Amino acid sequence: MPRFCANLTMLYGEFDFLDRFQAAAEDGFRGVEYLFPYAYPAEQLAERLARHDLVQVLFNLPPGDWDAGDRGIACHPQRRAEFAEGLERAVAYARTLGCKQLNCLAGIAPEGWSRLRLETTLIDNLRLAADRLAEVGAVLLLEAVNSRDISGFFVDTLDYAAEIVAAADRPNLFLQYDLYHQQVMRGDLAGTFRRHKDRIRHIQIADHPGRHEPGSGEIHWSFLFELLDREGYLGWIGLEYRPARGTRVGLSWLEAYRA
Catalytic residues: 143, 240
60 three-class SS: strand
Contact 204, 242 (CB under 8 A): no
**Strands 31-33 and 3-7: what pairing?**
parallel
* Residue partners of 171: CB distance under 8 A and separation at least 6: 134
Q: Distance of alpha carbon 148 from its chain centroid, rounded? A: 18
Question: φ, ψ for residue 101 (rounded to 5)?
Answer: -145, 130
Other CB atoms within 10 Å distance of the CB of residue 47: 13
Q: How many CA atoms lie within 13 A of 93 on its CB side?
A: 24
* Element holding 82 (H helix, E strand): helix 80-97
Strands (E), the chain: 3-7, 31-33, 55-60, 101-104, 139-143, 173-178, 200-205, 236-239
In whole angstroms, give the CA distance from residue 40 to residue 246: 25
In whole angstroms, give the CA distance from residue 234 to residue 252: 23
In whole angstroms, give the CA distance from residue 184 to residue 190: 14
